[in-house]
Chains A and B, each alone.
Chain A
Amino acid sequence: MAKLSLRNLNKTFAPQVVPLKDLSLEVEDGEFLTLLGPSGCGKSTTLRLIAGLEQPTQGEIWIGDRDVTQQPPGDRNIAMVFQSYALYPHMSVYDNMASGLRLKRMPATEIHHRIDEVSQFLGLDGLMQRKPGQLSGGQRQRVALARALVRRPDVFLLDEPLSNLDALLREQVRAELKQIFADQPTPIVYVTHDQTEAMTLSTRVAVLNEGLLQQLDSPKRIYTRPANRFVASFIGSPQMNLLSLPCQGEYALLGRYKVPLPQPIRLPEVVLGIRPEHLRLARPGETLALALQGQVMLVENLGMSDLLSIQIENTPYWLRALLSPDQSWADRQISLMLPSESLHWFDPQTGDRLF
């Protein structure tokens, strides 16, 4: 069909308000790309630029071999699901879905056919004559989705479509979304600030911060090899431990403990990252010289595991570790191992990944 490409997009609302600085990326057919980032990082702005609801200050937007940068939204053949759903309150579910097709002067039989197909698929059959005001939140969400699907657009845009659902429903709809969009042969751009959604749904994730692309990768690599300190701290919950340590050629110094670097570097300081879930207890046989001794200061019960805040002996450093809740950790003295394959190293100045 048609791939979507953004070329050096910039949006400047005012000299001080530049939600999008310079964004280039391509979304292939059938690819599910998620824009992920903290609030205000320019996700919605990007989506609105693609949809044509805002004009970029600089840059181009292409769909296939069409330059749509200057085209009005209606000519781009894009469908968008809004966070608020934006259902027309005075129209029935059927008319909501038919509206876009009628605007394109599609024959009524074809409209009927398409709506039938989609509404059966989404289980909306019995609701066609209702008004949006008579639907539950989940049903409204589905109607909004159906309204986009019947259009059979060149590109799908979804702006936090799950954020108005309660936690349980969100999980269920997330799974449904994955199924629905697995079959769509078009680029899909999905905006969220929920990393679970991003991880489970996407083929690729674009992490944004302050209007700049931080990393564009598969969900797995975003998690295992964050490109910089921001991505490392943003992805993963509980957050990755990030410690600024003095550096001595081949070692970083964590108190009296020497953490070996993969390669020698010439920096006075280095940032060490390790996820709480990758820290483990030293086993009885392991050399205690290589284990970090620490005092458990705080235990938070997360259900399947305990989140421990540990102060490393004779240092100002704290680490948080996820450990099994089968014993009581409070106030204990424990030895932790840092598995070298799970360590991330970042440049303290630029924040970029070193190895």
Chain B
Amino acid sequence: MRQDSLRQREQRTGWWLVAPALLFLILIYAYPIARSIGLSLFSQNLGTELQPVFTGLSNYSRMAVDGRFWQSLGNTTLFTVLSVLLELLLGLGIALVLNRSFRGRGVVRTIALLPWALPTALIATTWTWIFNDQFGVWNDLLLRLGLIQTGVNWLGDPNWALWTVIAADVWKTTPFIAILLLAGLQSIPADLYEAHAIDGATAWQSFWQITLPLLLPQILIASLFRFAQAFGIFDLIQVMTGGGPGGATETVSIYIYATIMRYLDFGYGAALVVVTFVILSLAVALAAWGLTRLRAAHNLGDSR
């Protein structure tokens, strides 16, 4: 009895303590989202002289037949899946190398983290120059190796443009994943590998049966982070291609930006925001659910 009332009092105090933070969260997150949902039910564009006119779900039905929207969604998905996948693979490789002790490991680790620390706009500009058709290093390299005869306009070619932004993004973000996975690797005790080796396992078998399963939580967390980030990609692409050529690299964020800032179509822009928000929330919820399941399967943390 007494304990219960004590608990209740603690809870009441707790609510008071989180109230300010809660208020800020509501103002900063909940309000804009609610406002976007509201706005998405109106037409507010140059046609309505920027006055809001209630049109129900018409923005959403327009979206269903908007080819440009679907193309941008496809681009976004492709960009997200490919870049996160490549980053995971490369990041894991780098983490495995960095996990070995060798002379100068600390220096290599610091250098490896540098791309992550640089501003995206800077990186984007640099990569734009690297892929430049006349003065770019990449073309120069391929020409010298004799792999191409004339310079390719990587950023201007609809078949290549998406790959160039993926390359830039992978270069920038792989270190982040590598460091995250390295922390995971370092938490795996060496004697597990020794026991496994005595049992007759090869390095390859140890990788699949020990490293990967024990690293899965970190891999999931990294993917979750990166997925959310990559799905909303804006700055890198805006600087490198602006969504071009011909919409070949236009992601949802860029399309929304253009809709609102260039075409001043606020109602439709809001509807686009809402849909993107829902897709992202679903994906994140799914990943978080997977993570909890995994934690439960790994049961109650560590035995060691």
Contacts and interface: CB of A to CB of B under 8 A. Distances in A.
B189 A74 contact: no
A40 interface: no
A235 B299 CA distance: 44
Interface string B186-217: 00010110111111111001000110011000
A246 to B, nearest CB: 52
Given A53-B194, A89-B298, A103 B303 contact: no
B18 interface: no
A90 B209 CA distance: 9
Interface in A95-143: 99-100, 103-104, 131-135, 140
What is the size category of the interface that chain B forms with chain A?
A: 20 to 34
A65 interface: no
B301 interface: yes
Contacts of B205: 103
A131 B298 CA distance: 8
Contacts of B298: 89-90, 131, 133
A72 B197 contact: yes
B194 A134 contact: no
A68 B304 CA distance: 31
A205 to B, nearest CB: 24
Given A99-B209, A140-B303, A86 B197 contact: no
Contacts of B202: 74
A259 interface: no
Interface string B266-304: 000000000000000000000000000000011111111
Given A99-B199, A133-B302, A82 B210 contact: no
Given A53-B194, A82-B191, A133-B299, A88 B199 contact: no
Contacts of B304: 84, 89
Contacts of B198: 51-53, 73-74, 76, 78-80
Given A89-B298, A90-B298, A99-B209, A82 B194 contact: yes
Contacts of A86: 189, 191-192, 194-195
A279 interface: no
A74 B213 contact: no
Interface string B46-66: 000000000000000000000
A50 B209 CA distance: 25
Given A72-B197, A74-B202, A78-B198, A88 B192 contact: yes
B189 A84 contact: yes
Interface string B173-193: 000000000000000010110
Nearest to B294: A90
A82 B195 contact: yes
Contacts of A88: 192, 195-196, 209-210
Contacts of A135: 303
A84 B190 CA distance: 11
B303 A87 contact: yes
Contact of B303 (A72, A82, A89, A100): A89
Nearest to A137: B303
A88 B302 CA distance: 10
A83 to B, nearest CB: 8
A150 to B, nearest CB: 11
Given A80-B195, A82-B195, A86-B191, A100 B200 contact: yes
Nearest to B199: A100
Contacts of B209: 88, 99
Contacts of A78: 198
A74 to B, nearest CB: 3
Nearest to A80: B198
B197 A53 contact: yes
A151 B197 CA distance: 14
| Most interface-central of A78, A90, A100, A103 (chain B CB within 10 A) | A90
B191 A131 contact: no
A75 interface: yes
A89 B214 contact: yes
A231 B205 CA distance: 44
B34 to A, nearest CB: 43
Contacts of B214: 89-90
B302 A89 contact: yes
Contacts of A52: 197-198
Given A80-B195, A90-B214, A103 B302 contact: no
Contacts of A79: 198
A82 B301 CA distance: 21
Nearest to A133: B303
Contact of A103 (B199, B297, B300): B199
A134 B300 contact: yes
A15 B200 CA distance: 32
A230 B239 CA distance: 75
A106 to B, nearest CB: 11
Interface in A200-258: none
A88 B194 CA distance: 11
Given A82-B191, A86-B194, A90-B213, A74 B303 contact: no
Nearest to A130: B299
Nearest to A153: B198
Nearest to A95: B209
Interface string A38-59: 0000000000000111000000
Contacts of A76: 198
8 contacts: A53-B198, A74-B197, A80-B194, A99-B209, A100-B200, A131-B299, A131-B300, A133-B301
Given A73-B198, A90-B298, A151-B199, 12 more contacts: A51-B198, A79-B198, A82-B195, A84-B189, A87-B303, A89-B303, A99-B196, A104-B200, A131-B299, A132-B303, A133-B298, A133-B302
Interface of A: 51-53, 72-76, 78-80, 82, 84, 86-90, 99-100, 103-104, 131-135, 140, 151
| The 8 residue pairs across chains A and B that have the minimum distance between CB atoms | A100-B199, A74-B200, A132-B303, A133-B303, A86-B195, A86-B191, A131-B299, A103-B200
Interface of B: 189, 191-192, 194-202, 205, 209-210, 213-214, 297-304
